[in-house]
Structure 1
Amino acid sequence: MTKDAKRIGCLAIDNFATWRHVRRSFGQREVGGPSFVPWVMVGALALLAAFLILRALRRQRAADVAPLIEMPDRPTLLRLGAFALLLAAYSAAFFPIGYLPATLATFVLGLLLIGERNPLLLIGFPVVMTGAVYFAFTELLSVWLP
């Protein structure tokens, strides 16, 4: 990707964010709120991931060589899909049930999905990491989590 293409991409994202902000600022019925930027980032990451996958497949086909990295087998793809669904459920459950229970449950289920079976890691790691993040946000940054 050339420098000009990168600059055009950054300009497009900036213009989109400005347009959305101006629409919200002048009393339109749409509500941007604090969730606007995270959703833009989620959408941008999804689009960029799709772009990178398609570009790699196109280059592989054009070069007509064996892939350097094999596509995952069916069980791995199913595990990745389950992990994506777990993260979607986490984002849906975050506000209704709160940060602590949603994050602890997601951590434990995520570790189970990747094959972790050590009870100390299954319980200890999520509790320590969730507690550390909660403490950092609430005490150090004064950002209250639900």
Structure 2
Amino acid sequence: MPSAADPLTATENHTGSAGARLALVSAPGGMAIVIGVLAWMMSVDLNPADKGYPRALAGLLVLVGVWNLVADLRERAAGDEPDPEYGRLVAWRVAGFIALIALSIWLVKPIGFYPAAGLLVLGGLLIMGVRKPLVLIVFPLVLIGLGYVLFTMLIGVPLPLARGF
């Protein structure tokens, strides 16, 4: 049985610095808040009659994000140690994924939904450590194809295309 001073044991039980643990605990609520605010900002250019539904969803996302953030921080303040699984994540991955979501939402207007969604899926795979070229090519293409079939062909709701199309 390894001793407490054994570096292997210390590495396995290490959950990161307090700032990294705080970032990981607040990430789900923070992501919902960021996405909600970005969705609200993107609805500014919509026809006034069409703003209601996107803004209601954006407001709901912000409210759920704030509630989740407060609940997670309150639970952390209660003295609970973070789950050992947090040690497997790194704060930069969480921050990178939040930035990737924000970038993808912002890119919908200039390049269209399908390329932005492809970049989101590809970037998410890269951030999570996927390095197999076949997966990095096929998975985003399949998801974009399924999105096109579902929204454009089955439901009849075309998703935003690039400017000029």
Tell me, yes or no, whether TM beats 0.5.
yes
Change (3 A) 1:87 1:34: farther
Question: What does 1:119-134 correspond to in 2, within 5 Å?
Answer: 119-134=133-148
Question: What does 1:58-97 correspond to in 2, within 5 Å?
Answer: 58-62=74-78, 64=79, 66-67=80-81, 69=83, 72=86, 76-97=90-111
Change (3 A) 1:125 1:71: closer
Match of 2:62 in 1: 46
Unpaired segments of 5 or more residues in structure 2? 1-45
Q: Deviations over 1:32-52 (max 9, x none)?
A: 443442343233223322322
Unpaired segments of 5 or more residues in structure 1? 1-29
Mapped to 2, the partners of 1:38 and 1:140 lie a distance apart of 21
Mapped to 2, the partners of 1:61 and 1:132 lie a distance apart of 43
Match of 2:127 in 1: 113
Q: The residue matched to 1:82 in structure 2 has which SS?
A: helix
* Identity across matched positions, percent: 31
Mapped to 1, the partners of 2:139 and 2:53 lie a distance apart of 29
Q: What is the Cα deviation at residue 76 of structure 1? A: 1.8
Following TM superposition, where does structure 1 have runs of at least 4 consecutive aligned residues deviating by more than 6 angstroms?
A: none
Mapped to 1, the partners of 2:85 and 2:66 lie a distance apart of 15
Q: Deviations over 1:67-103 (max 9, x none)?
A: 3536946x72211111111111111111211122222
Mapped to 2, the partners of 1:59 and 1:85 lie a distance apart of 26
Mapped to 1, the partners of 2:121 and 2:96 lie a distance apart of 13
Mapped to 2, the partners of 1:52 and 1:70 lie a distance apart of 20
TM-score computed with the length of structure 2 as normaliser: 0.58
Which structure carries more relative contact order (alpha carbon 8 Å, separation 6+)? 2
Mapped to 2, the partners of 1:71 and 1:47 lie a distance apart of 27
Amino acid at match of 2:67: F
Q: What is the Cα deviation at residue 116 of structure 1? A: 0.7
Q: What is the Cα deviation at residue 140 of structure 1? A: 0.8
Match of 2:154 in 1: 140
Mapped to 1, the partners of 2:149 and 2:82 lie a distance apart of 43
